[in-house]
Amino acid sequence: METPKTFSIRPATIHDVRGIYHLIREHSDNLIPRSINDIVQNVDRFMVAEAGEGMLIGCIAYTLFPEIGDILKTSAELQSVCVRQEYRTQGVGRCLVLAQLRRIHDVKVAQVILLTFTPKFFGDIGFKVIDKHSLMHKIYIGCINCTKHESPFTCPEIAMGLDTAELDALLNIEK
């Protein structure tokens, strides 16, 4: 299959749900599985990369984690970030992340976080490594039932984040 030179990034629609589901399953070694129902319920938080007519080559989602007692410290987590192998190193992943960060910026969260096996990729975008212990709410809600590792703290994924000022600077937005 020849790789198209162009692709587009757009918000996901209901018509993309099955394609997103299969993209995530293709990357099951590195991503937490998501059911069709979960994708439907969160489709408004997904963005997709599309090459050709309707061929999904990547996706990204986000979720919000309110800080108990202080809603102004709510975090957004990037999730389900993947690009089909044959389309990597063409800027698809970077475009997906930046497009999602623009959407998240409008929500005015305190920080954007993620757990990843590819810290260099996210570091090149501007994310910094952070201590997993600073993400206890995320770990309690998102990691506590994971069956891949004995504990969230033995999981080899690297915690990374961007605070509001770093996000503003990354997106070249003045306050």
| Residue 28 pLDDT class (50, 70, 90 cuts) | confident
Q: Note whether residue 157 is domain-resident.
A: yes
Q: Note whether residue 1 is domain-resident.
A: no
Q: Note whether residue 2 is domain-resident.
A: no
CATH number at residue 76: 3.40.630.30
Counting the structural domains of the chain, the total is 1
Distance between CA atoms of 65 and 142, rounded to whole angstroms?
A: 10
Percent of the chain with pLDDT over 70: 85
CB 87 within 8 A of CB 59: no
Distance between CA atoms of 9 and 47, rounded to whole angstroms?
A: 7
Residues 87-130: pLDDT tens digits? 999 999 999 999 999 999 999 999 999 999 999 999 999 999 99
Residue 146 has pLDDT above 70, yes or no: no
